[in-house]
Amino acid sequence: MGTLRAAHVTGREVVVVDDVVTTGVTMAEAVRAVRAAGGRVMRCVALAEVEE
């Protein structure tokens, strides 16, 4: 992991939004990046989901 970085989120509450969730890897990486930058993820939202 480590493909995404978050900036200017230290001490902030964050909502992570993704256009579509397939495997969930991008959402998980976004959450990791926000936490690593000192932010607090409050919600994760996706606009669509792909059923396998």
pTM here is 0.86
Q: Which residue, among 51, 52, 14, 46, has the nearest Cα to 33 in the 3D structure?
A: 14
CA distances from 32 to 3, 20, 47 (A): 10, 18, 20
* Whole-number Å distance between alpha carbons of 2 and 17: 18
The answer for residues whose C-beta is within 8 angstroms of residue 7's C-beta and 6 or more apart is: 37
pLDDT, tens only, 1-52 = 689 999 999 999 999 999 998 899 999 999 999 999 999 999 999 998 777 7
Judged by DSSP in three states, 27 sits in: helix
